[in-house]
């Protein structure tokens, strides 16, 4: 583990502002470089500090892309430590070629994301926030059958990505008596009671609800397209606590308008913070602004994990949550 006197001389690059507490805690151990405070353009700033930058810390729902062009400006970089679960903003192949390690938030956010996903589902099926919104708009919906709601218990749930978040979702919804099935790259032997599907299309045909909790990759981008939504059916529900681009967003809007599916609970979007304006007018949609994992508990845990990964890297010890090892 790095001691304070040694680590304080190590320069860590931040590509965007972090929370005040996050920055304050990191600055007690490391010399933080903040290019947004410099009058220099980013490239010139990086060139000035090129030899001393050994680590980058990345965080936030709209992380700056860490691409090969940026990596070329910091030749001594050894680690990209992200405070996010997903690393789709990091060009992993470029990091691999340069021998740069990458870490993420590991399983820190899994319980919070699962809680939130189940919360979106309950909210949507029971019409909790929709009723409040309509009440505020003075709408008379006493005889609107669509607002009577539907029970969660017993609904067939298909999970796209039975990783850490997905398995937490499954555990919670099993308590509601929901039969669970899933899609992933391969069957999960640790979950023999859940039915495996090798196709998202087949998963949609056999379920009432799709919960999206997988990572965003080239293979999973737009994994839920119109064909999948048509297979899910007019009463089907989509919950997304993964990444916005897992869904073909324009087709989602069209399918919701046309009644191809029954509704959606969405915490993530393709072009955050922008949200398709049509979604705000729909009574069969519950929206959140990428808040699934924003709890004090998760913030504390991810800060500790980022620091532990940095300490391990600078001490030559194994990383705690490696996505890519150097």
Q: Which residues are catalytic?
A: 243, 272, 290
H or E segment and range at residue 262? none
Under 8 Å CB-to-CB from 42, ≥6 apart: which residues?
A: 35
Torsion sign over Cα 304, 306, 310, 315:
positive
Edge-to-edge strands, sheet with 157-160? 195-197, 180-183, 157-160, 209-212, 237-240, 263-266, 285-287
**Of 145, 180, 137, nearest in space to 160 by CA:** 180
Contact between 231 and 201 under an 8 Å Cβ cutoff? The reply is yes
d(CA 201, CA 158): 11
DSSP result, 213-235: -PPP-TTTTT-B-HHHHHHH-TT
Q: Which residues contact 195 (CB under 8 A, 6 or more apart)?
A: 179, 180, 181, 182, 206
Q: Looking at the DSSP assignment, which residues form a beta bridge with residue 247? A: 224
- Integer Cα distance of 59 and 109 in angstroms: 13
């Amino acid at each position: 583990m790095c001691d304070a006197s040694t680590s304080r001389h190590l320069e860590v690059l931040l590509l965007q502002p972090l929370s005040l507490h996050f920055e304050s805690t990191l600055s007690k151990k490391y010399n933080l470089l903040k290019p947004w405070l410099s009058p220099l353009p980013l490239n010139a700033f990086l060139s000035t500090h090129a030899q001393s930058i050994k680590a980058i810390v990345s965080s936030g729902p709209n992380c700056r892309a860490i691409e090969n062009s940026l990596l070329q400006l910091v030749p001594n970089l050894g680690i990209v430590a992200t405070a996010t679960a997903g690393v789709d903003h990091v060009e992993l192949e470029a990091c691999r070629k340069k021998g740069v390690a990458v870490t993420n938030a590991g399983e820190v956010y899994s319980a919070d994301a699962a809680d939130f996903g189940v919360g979106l589902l309950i909210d949507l099926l029971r019409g909790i926030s929709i009723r409040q919104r309509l009440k505020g708009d003075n709408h008379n919906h006493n005889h609107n059958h669509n607002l009577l709601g539907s029970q969660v218990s017993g609904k067939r749930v298909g999970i796209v990505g039975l990783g850490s978040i997905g398995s937490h979702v499954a555990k919670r919804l099993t308590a509601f008596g929901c039969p669970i099935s899933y899609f992933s790259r391969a069957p999960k032997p640790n979950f023999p009671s859940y039915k495996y599907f090798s196709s998202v299309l087949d998963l949609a045909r056999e379920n009432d609800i799709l919960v999206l909790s997988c990572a965003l990759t080239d293979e999973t981008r737009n994994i839920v397209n119109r064909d999948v939504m048509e297979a899910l059916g007019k009463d089907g529900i989509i919950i997304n606590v993964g990444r916005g681009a897992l869904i073909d967003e324009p087709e989602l809007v069209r399918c919701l308008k046309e009644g191809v599916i029954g509704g959606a609970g969405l915490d993530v979007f393709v072009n955050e913070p922008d949200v398709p304006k049509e979604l705000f007018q729909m009574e069969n949609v519950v929206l959140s602004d990428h808040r699934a994992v924003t709890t004090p508990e998760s913030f504390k845990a991810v800060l500790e994990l980022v620091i532990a990964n940095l300490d391990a890297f600078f001490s030559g010890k194994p990383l705690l949550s490696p996505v890519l090892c150097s």
